[in-house]
Structure 1
């Protein structure tokens, strides 16, 4: 498929040698990060006309490239299809090309239902996906149409999809139906409230560590002075917190696809564009750091006795990250935090460690 038919190539910007824009190319490369901007907001009740992402690019291109080694590609702006389904189909074709080149696609803009395309595109290439979503809303509504309220139910309900773990972070109780939250808990997927994510990433870092796919609903980020998202909220992750979490996303050992959705592309507020640009930058920094880590790891083994039963924890001697379990294959151990280990020493074991 010829991408030139439905992707508008980005314009050129004058940048300094030290700025990240100086190393950005426009064609998919192997083992690269591929940025693609999406204008279709019909899944959130918006429009589908091609929007101008120039202001965001200007803010992003002028940031420092530090010592980044990974190739960065700005593929351009996706032209919306005649229908929402057409846009999803086109996006999945682009995603497939990225995965074939072991590139990490980062989809920016569009409504939150495009997370469905990211999952579908990745599911074509691998099974047992670990999916983490940052969103203030948990919606499992049933409908033929795909939108921001139905996409998650379609992922869970599809016989063709293979999901290993799902982690929903940042939900706010006062915005959600109790039944949706209850259902997620009944199938033993993890739900973390906004309050548990604030001030520190330590507690929720384990939910990113093995993630294959991470999507961010910008509605989970607090708006300031002007709406940051299409469904702006007074409460949410603040500017520093979301940048810290973007870095954690990049640090995932298995990361293959990222989406940043429901951004208010109609805003003229420079600070909003600046924040989105810096979110992308911190994501890239995390990916670069992870690529520099050694593949072979050593682990310290610790045993904790609770009610006459022995439980094992492991600590990565390079990263100091913790795992629950004593399996020789670290992939079979559960990522956890130092606090989980400390709590176990006090006699309290996190319930998610004992799920069958």
Structure 2
């Protein structure tokens, strides 16, 4: 892998001793095994790392506008104390992004750090920071002209052009600027009463997929294929209900903590996903650090998902899959089911396989066109 030590120009180290109040971590805790950037002379070996953590405490695109490492470090305190069950998943923590003079500098610095790591085939978790940092996350792909699929989990849809807050309108630039490198966009768990109807109409005209909160909660397994086909995943913690994430909540309704952990696990299982940003955490509002604990457990499940991904076979290895041929009046295709992870794929007319669910297979078996198949065809 190319030399990445130049990344030190954009980031500052994190002290394990400070995080754990000068106590040693146990060898079986995440803090005991994660390769952390603690001194300027000792940078983590990123060649071995499967998942890389990056703290970005930038909140000048939100309110109150501030920047600092307190939020990411609070999440680290909780994560490092969790037990390490996944010895085949190697972890590294490269510290916190240094604040720039302005918000634009923060986006640029985030892009500069993420871009070479993505090109090196790494998976990076961003501990935010306000949700508008998703724009810098996207620019890491655009700067390399990588065409991607992006998924955002958020109770709101941040397309408000007139808002003075950057975290309320960043999606407009991300989805419309030219040249654009987003092939497809998914929005998960929005709450209808917070969303202008015209926003949904606009996204639907672009053949983007939006899943309201009720639909996501009704059958969470149907979201796994969405995340399996995603390169960029951005989650605003406001997608959780107030009882499960009190420091970030905007509504008494939302995803439960367990459901958020399941989504994080699905994201970790994806062979395509290279960046996962968790945004909107405000440590000053976090009583007893319950929301930091919630995020740390989501990250634990993301690591758990990566362990599953490491066991998955390549689609070319057909001996590792069961093959089902469907030939009906309206649809003729092939479904594959992994013998190792029980996940499903279906073949489009162009012969490409896309992730799907068992439910899609059952529909096709009854000569019903799966909506997922139709939406892929529309986009093609």
TM normalised by structure 2 equals: 0.85
Contact 1:207/1:335 (<8 A) preserved: yes
Given that residues 36 and 75 in structure 1 are in contact (C-alpha distance below 8 angstroms), is that contact kept between their aligned partners in structure 2? yes
CA contact (8 A) 1:196 1:203 kept: no
SS class of match (1:309)? coil
Deviations 1:114-139 (A, max 9, x none): 11111110233353201111111123
How far apart, CA to CA, are the structure 2 residues paired with 1:224 and 1:144? 28
Partner of 1:320: 342
197-206 vs 320-329, which moves further: 320-329
Secondary structure of 2:138 counterpart:
helix
Q: Is the 8 A contact 2:283 2:289 kept in 1?
A: no
Q: How does 1:101-112 map to 2 (within 5 A)?
A: 101-112=120-131
Deviations 1:292-339 (A, max 9, x none): 32224324132152xx3333241223233223325685xx23322111
Q: Does 1:237 align with 2:255?
A: yes
Q: How far apart, in 1, do the equivalents of 2:46 and 2:221 lie?
A: 33
Q: How is 1:1-356 mapped onto 2 (pairs within 5 angstroms)?
A: 2-12=6-16, 13=20, 14-25=24-35, 26=37, 27=44, 29-30=46-47, 31-52=49-70, 53-142=72-161, 147-198=166-217, 200-224=219-243, 227-229=246-248, 232-266=250-284, 267-295=286-314, 296-298=316-318, 299=321, 300-305=323-328, 308-318=329-339, 319-325=341-347, 332-354=352-374, 355-356=377-378
Distance in structure 2 (CA, Å) of the matches to 1:196 and 1:144: 28
Shift of the alpha carbon at 1:4? 4.2
Alpha carbons of 1:20 and 1:188: their partners in 2 closer, same or farther (altered >3 Å)?
Answer: same
Distance 2:309 2:34 in 1: 20
The CA distance in 2 between the partners of 1:119 and 1:132, in whole Å, is 11
Q: Deviations over 1:235-256 (max 9, x none)?
A: 1110111001100000011111
Conserved? CA contact 2:62–2:165, under 8 Å: no
Give the distance between the partners of 2:244 and 2:51, measured in 1 at CA.
32
Structure 1 distance, partners of 2:261, 2:244, is: 19
Task: Provide structure 2 residue ranges, at least 5 long, that are not aligned to the other structure.
Answer: 38-43
Supply the RMSD in Å over aligned alpha carbons: 2.4
Aligned residues: 351
**Segment drifting more, 59-68 vs 294-303:** 294-303
SS at 1:242's partner residue?
Answer: helix
Distance 1:281 1:126, change over 3 A: farther
Q: Distance in 1 between matches of 2:245 and 2:262?
A: 22
Distance 1:152 1:10 in 2: 31
2:41 corresponds to: none
The 3-state SS of whatever aligns with 1:88 is helix
Aligned 8 A contact 1:313 1:322 in 2 = no
